[in-house]
Structures are given as structure tokens and as C-alpha cells.
Amino acid sequence: CEACPAGTYKDAVGSGPCLNCTFASVSDSGSARCQCIEGYTSTESKTCQMCESGKYKSQVSNRKCSDCPSHSTSPVGSSLKSNCSCLAGYAYVDGKDCKACSPGTYKADQGNGQCLPCPQNQSSNSASTSCTCKKGYTKVNNESLCLPCDVGKYKATLGTDSCTECPVNSTTAAEGSSEVNHCTCPAGYFISNYSNVTNSFNCTSCPSGTYNDMSGQTHCQACFEHATSYLGSVNISFCQCGRGFDYSNFTCSPCAVGKYKDKVGNVQCSSCPENKTSLKASTNISECICKAGYSPEALGSCIACPEGKYKSDPGPSACEPC
């Protein structure tokens, strides 16, 4: 009996012939079984098939193929561990393990290259294969660059979604806002109906008689006493003294006796016509009446009581005989 030559085998006792090894298998001289070559593994039918993608086998044997390290893969039929390379989104660290690209970096292809920083105004999540517009930035009209959200808009997610309008009557301090809480009520408004669950709120106009000269406030400031203002006033200078009140240095004082003011505004009280007077804080020229010692005449003016007559109190009455 002679040993079966290399590349053949005989697995039974007897006088049968040596058989040739099947595809992708080899044997030494005198073998009872063939062994699958590197990159191949034995099947249940005792044939050899290539290691699947993501596996490798570096020795001649009928053992199973080994898995590539975590987050790496290999071509079909790989025979070496070095055939395994990092997946897209992963890169070698210290030449050993494949680690996820950190946020703000990416790796587009499988291989042993390094993660690259995202372009300007773009970002990424961990293990990304590409970058996209970062929070507060978006693409406009399919441009390649990511542009900041306009003032009055925000974008809280990565991606190319459009920027979102701030709540009604609110705005942002600058371009590129990334959160709804960057939206705030401008001067002339105050924050109302705020929800810390949804970060939602309303911007309500400062009511008449108040003003707000700063953004992001939760209440409006009252005008000085006896002054009023229009809805949404943005400065104390919008506070105007009411009718019958004189203005001086952000103070409203009643019009003095003999004066009146018939309009809202920061102007001086007007003097009553000649020989007329009025009560304090008068609001109309019609409240100007003839002084004591004067009586009204047909044209509305006041003339002095003639000799032998008098009038002791101001008003519309005529002079009386002594």
C-alpha cells in the first residue's frame, strides 16, 4: 500500500483509489481528508466555500471563518485579518480597534482612512458617513453651503430642513439661532403663557399706560403717574401726560389755575384767554371762565365790571350793582 499523493485523499479502509481533493482544498501526502485553503471554509456537504464578507480564515483547515473585529468588514474569501477594514463612519484608533467617528467628523468610505472634520457650518452625529448643516444653519435653493438661519428664525436639528419662524411677535438677537428659546419678545412686548414643558410662549403687546425698553422681559413697566401710552410702547418717552396735566422731566403735574390742556402729550398747558381763569387740571378752553370782577359779553370775552357794579366770584354770572 502506497500513501496517497499530496492533493488526494482516501477516507475508507480498503483497496479503493485515492481521490482528488475538491475545489479550494488541499492535502498532504497520505491524507484521509482534504483541508480547505485560506479564505475558504468547509460546508456540511464537505465542499469548500469562500468566507462571507466580514469574515476571514488565515490557515489551511476545515474550521469556520472568523469574524472581523467590531465595526469592520472584509471582501468575500478573505484570508487574513488584515483584510478587515473599518466600516464607513469608523476609523482605526492606535492601529487596532475601529472606533466611531466623533460628532463633527465623518468618514465616507470603508477602509483604514481617518475621520475628517466636517466643512464649515456643518456637523454630524457619532459614526457619520457624511456631514449636514448644523443646528442653526440650512441650505437654501440647493446651494452647497450651509447658511445661517435669518434673524427671527431658528433650527434645532442637524440636517437641511428649513429654519422655523419664531413665535408670533418674537425674534432672535442674531442669525444662526439653534433653539426656540433663542427667540424672545422684543421691546414693546412681554412674555406670556410660557410653558417649560414645550418651551412655548406668547409675545403680548405692552398695554396702554406701560412700556418696555428691553427684549425678553416678563412684564412691562408702568408710565409715570397721570401719563398714558399706546399699545406696544418701547420707551419711557412714549409715555404722554394726559389731558389737564403739564409735562416736565418725566413728571405730569396738574395744569395750574388759569390754564388748561385739551390733548394727550408732553406739551405745556395753555393759558386761558384774557380776563379768564380756570380750575386746576382743566382739560378744555371751555372750562376757562370769567375772573372775579369780570362778566361775559356776547362774543365770549370777559369785560371788567363797570363803575358801581361788582362780581366777587369767577364764573359766567353778570356783575351786580353795589
User: If you average pLDDT over every residue of the chain, what do you get?
Assistant: 93
- Look at residue 81 and give its three-state secondary structure: helix
Q: What is the pLDDT of residue 204?
A: 94
88-102, 183-197, 260-274: which is most confident: 260-274
- What percent of the chain is modeled with pLDDT above 90? 85
Q: How many CB atoms lie within 10 A of CB 308?
A: 8
Q: What is the pLDDT of residue 198?
A: 75
Q: How far apart are CA 65 and CA 240, in angstroms?
A: 88
- Look at residue 218 and give its three-state secondary structure: coil
Average pLDDT of span 192-213: 89
Q: List, for residues 253-268, the tens digit of each pLDDT value.
A: 999 999 999 999 999 9
Whether the pLDDT of residue 315 is over 80: the answer is yes
**87 Cβ contact partners less than 8 Å away, ≥ 6 residues apart:** 71, 72, 73, 98, 110
Q: How far apart are CA 76 and CA 228, in angstroms?
A: 83
Average pLDDT of span 249-253: 95
Instruction: For residue 44, name the pLDDT band (cuts at 50, 70, 90).
Output: confident
- What is the domain partition of the chain in residue ranges? 1-85, 87-130
- Look at residue 304 and give its three-state secondary structure: strand
Q: How far apart are CA 184 and CA 98, in angstroms?
A: 44
Q: What is the pLDDT of residue 141?
A: 77
Average pLDDT of span 177-193: 92
Q: How far apart are CA 55 and CA 69, in angstroms?
A: 9
Q: What is the pLDDT of residue 143?
A: 72
Instruction: For residue 129, name the pLDDT band (cuts at 50, 70, 90).
Output: very high
Q: How far apart are CA 254 and CA 56, in angstroms?
A: 98
The number of C-alpha atoms within 13 Å of 84 and in the hemisphere containing its C-beta is: 25
285: left (phi over 0), alpha (psi -120 to 50) or beta: alpha
Q: How far apart are CA 121 and CA 117, in angstroms?
A: 11
Whether the pLDDT of residue 158 is over 80: the answer is yes
pTM over 0.75: no
Whether the pLDDT of residue 51 is over 90: the answer is yes
